[in-house]
Chains A and B, each alone.
Chain A
Amino acid sequence: KQEVTQIPAALSVPEGENLVLNCSFTDSAIYNLQWFRQDPGKGLTSLLLIQSSQREQTSGRLNASLDKSSGRSTLYIAASQPGDSATYLCAVRGAGNMLTFGGGTRLMVKP
């Protein structure tokens, strides 16, 4: 059974810092990996999707990497802003074409 772990569970940084969120998964047989953002009481917004054949994806200040063989992905946020404060969820699509979510990282960027 696929298990997805996100570290840290919570993170508080001052505005302007570059930061890295970590995601690990136990079964490397995945189709793709997605990073989502969730604001309090809201649904999920897809940030980046990395196919299993890809190593990284970039969108603006966000960069996600994927090392499938080691079961790891990182989400890099450059020059963090207070508006980046949210919960970031990592999810992998694996056997049965199903998404398995990590527990999330709650990010607070202080002005």
Chain B
Amino acid sequence: GAVVSQHPSRVICKSGTSVKIECRSLDFQATTMFWYRQFPKQSLMLMATSNEGSKATYEQGVEKDKFLINHASLTLSTLTVTSAHPEDSSFYICSARDSSGRRNEQYFGPGTRLTVT
């Protein structure tokens, strides 16, 4: 199946600093990528949808100035958590949709564990 990678897999940062997470589709082009957030023992919550070359669409309650998303190419999207605080500590998962396939399937990255101290 298609592969989506995330980097880093785990990051610890101090409160007030910014953290960038990369999401790459390795063997297909993804015009649309998604960023999810997952708290312990909870399901995935969609944060935003990014389309290559255009501004991301954020879900209600997600601060676009805090969670900066850039989707500059068909294989790369980045999420930057600006001025991180301990409450931003969470598991962030990206996903990419292979729009060229008939199945219109989404593939998920392995996730990034962010801990803000």
Contact = CB atoms under 8 A, between A and B. Distances in A.
Nearest to B34: A99
Given A93-B104, A97-B104, A43 B111 contact: yes
Contacts of B103: 32, 49, 51
B11 to A, nearest CB: 14
Contact of B104 (A31, A36, A101, A102): A31
29 contacts: A31-B104, A34-B105, A34-B106, A36-B108, A41-B91, A41-B113, A43-B6, A43-B93, A43-B110, A43-B111, A44-B93, A44-B95, A44-B108, A45-B108, A46-B1, A46-B107, A46-B108, A49-B103, A49-B105, A51-B103, A89-B43, A97-B104, A98-B49, A99-B46, A99-B95, A101-B43, A102-B43, A104-B43, A106-B41
